[in-house]
Amino acid sequence: MAPVVPPPSHDHATATRALKGRDLRTLRDLSRGELLALLERARLMKADPAGFAAALTGRTLAMIFEKPSLRTRVTFDVGMYQLGGHAIYLSPSEISMGKRESTSDVAKNLERMVQGIMIRTFSQSIVDELAEAATVPVINALSDFAHPCQGLADYLTMREAKGELAGLKVAYVGDGNNVVHSLAHGAALVGAHLAVATPPGYEPSSEVISWVLGRAAQTGAAITLTHDPREAVEDADVVYTDTWTSMGQEAEADARRKVFGAYQVNDALFARARSDAIFMHCLPAHRGEEVTDSVIDSRRSVVFDQAENRLHVQKAVLASLMA
H or E element that contains 194:
strand 193-197
In the chain, residues under CATH classification 3.40.50.1370 are: 21-147+309-322, 150-306
- The torsion region of residue 264 among left (phi > 0), alpha (psi -120 to 50) and beta comes to beta
How confident is the model at residue 92, as a pLDDT?
87
How confident is the model at residue 3, as a pLDDT?
42
Q: How far apart are CA 115 and CA 88, in angstroms?
A: 11
Contact 287, 293 (CB under 8 A): yes
Angle at 98 between CA 124 and CA 136, to 5 degrees: 60
Contact 145, 29 (CB under 8 A): no
How confident is the model at residue 98, as a pLDDT?
75
How confident is the model at residue 4, as a pLDDT?
45
CB atoms within 10 A of CB 36: 19
Helix (H, G, I), strand (E, B) or coil at 245: coil
How confident is the model at residue 1, as a pLDDT?
39
Q: Which residues are catalytic?
A: 120, 147, 150, 242, 282, 310
- Right CATH for 150-306 from 3.40.50.20, 3.40.47.10, 3.30.43.10, 3.40.50.1370: 3.40.50.1370
How confident is the model at residue 9, as a pLDDT?
54
Helices then strands (H, E): number in the chain?
14, 9
| Cα–Cα separations (whole angstroms), residue 270 to 232, 301, 303 | 11, 11, 15
Question: CATH for 21-147+309-322?
Answer: 3.40.50.1370
> Exposed, middle or buried by CB within 10 Å (0-12, 13-18, 19+), for 93?
exposed
Question: Averaged in consecutive runs of 10 residues, what is the pLDDT profile of the chain (323 residues)?
Answer: 48 82 98 97 98 98 94 98 98 83 95 98 96 98 98 98 97 98 98 98 97 95 98 98 85 90 98 98 97 98 98 98 97
Residue 316's closest CA among 156, 147, 160? Answer: 156
C-alpha 124: how far from its chain's center? 14
| φ, ψ at 8 (rounded to 5°) | -65, 150
DSSP string, 16-66: HHTTTT--BSSGGGS-HHHHHHHHHHHHHHHH-GGGGTTTTTT-EEEEEES
DSSP-assigned beta bridge partners for residue 281:
241
Helix (H, G, I), strand (E, B) or coil at 202: coil
How confident is the model at residue 29, as a pLDDT?
97
How confident is the model at residue 73, as a pLDDT?
97
Q: How far apart are CA 73 and CA 65, in angstroms?
A: 9
Q: How far apart are CA 267 and CA 197, in angstroms?
A: 17
